[in-house]
Chain A
Amino acid sequence: MNGIHDMGGMDGFGPIEREAEEPVFHEAWEGRVLALTRGCGAWGKWNIDRSRSGIEQMPPAEYLRASYYEKWLWRLEKLLVDAGMVTREEIERRYAETKQAAETP
């Protein structure tokens, strides 16, 4: 299946940007997303192929815009919902509550 993820040979992305002394994670949440993905993966509800295919199902425009770990978060939510481990409503409700709590002085 072709798709935006199949980037080999594409033109127009410009120079390769490199960062000296790059940290393993640029933000703490990135490490949490990786750890959550590994932790949830340990339940064996999906394999590496399902997991890879999860990222590849991201809408192409979003795929190009998203950072690496933003893609990972998108995938993790999808895998969890598809596996019936949480519902989309639970995710959105908890996010709304967390955001509201953070914004309350």
Chain B
Amino acid sequence: MSNHDHNHSHRHNAPLSDIALRVKALESLLTEKGLVDPAALDAIVETYEKKIGPRNGAKVVAKAWTDPDYKARLLKDVTTAIAELGYGGLQGEDMVVVENTPSVHNLVVCTLCSCYPLPVLGLPPVWYKSAPYRARAVRDPRGVLKEFGIALPAETEVRVWDSTAELRYLVLPERPPGSEGMSEEALAALVSRDAMIGTAIVMLEEKTTP
């Protein structure tokens, strides 16, 4: 549900749950005290629903694939490099880009909670914040990757990065073979959120050959 009409006047059959009422009550209390402005809250919700998301990260990845100088800048100083594309802000201050290669596969987790490179990926999916992923990504990363459909050769090294409030990670996936000559825009369209967490591999669209 993406509607943020918080009085829900349009949903005649759906009474608010207790927790929704509790949030509504808290918002009215804080508004009355002048601690928050509902219009500003609307803008924050809209930003996360519409403006900040994994498409941002996909553009960063595609640029790094096509522009070696940009890639060098990205690996050296993420904050400055993503700012070139207009991204930055909260929880993007201290980021590291980890590069997948034929011999190394990187996987990102936040075992303690949900730290995530917000400016380039938006808010994390529920599975990233879930107990099973947080618990197992560090203990059995290959098993986790298998659950996501990735079977790595035994000789590929898996590096797991545990995010903290101070440091967040973005995976620079491998550019798929056969993508030579594709435009930056077409490349960006191939890059999924999961590929930038390390739970997917970037592939060209499957050809439907019978």
Interface range, B side: 35 or more
Residues of chain A within 8 A of B37, CB atoms compared: 39
Complex CA–CA separation, A5 to B131 (angstroms): 9
Complex CA–CA separation, A48 to B8 (angstroms): 32
Task: Compute the total of residue contacts between A and B using a CB distance below 8 Å.
Answer: 175
Contact yes or no, A34 B45, CB < 8 A: yes
Contact yes or no, B135 A10, CB < 8 A: yes
Is A44's beta carbon under 8 Å from chain B?
A: no
Complex CA–CA separation, A9 to B160 (angstroms): 13
Contact yes or no, A23 B2, CB < 8 A: yes
Is A59's beta carbon under 8 Å from chain B?
A: no
What is the distance, in angstroms, from B85's C-beta to the closest C-beta of chain A? 21
Residue positions of A touching B, CB distance < 8 A = 5-11, 13-19, 22-29, 31-36, 38-40, 43, 48-49, 52, 55-56, 64, 68, 70, 73, 76-77, 80, 85-86, 90-91, 94-95, 97-99, 102
20 example contacts (A-B, Cβ-Cβ < 8 A) are as follows: A8-B138, A9-B111, A15-B147, A16-B144, A17-B132, A19-B127, A24-B122, A24-B123, A25-B1, A27-B1, A28-B5, A29-B6, A29-B24, A31-B48, A39-B44, A64-B131, A85-B35, A98-B28, A102-B16, A102-B21
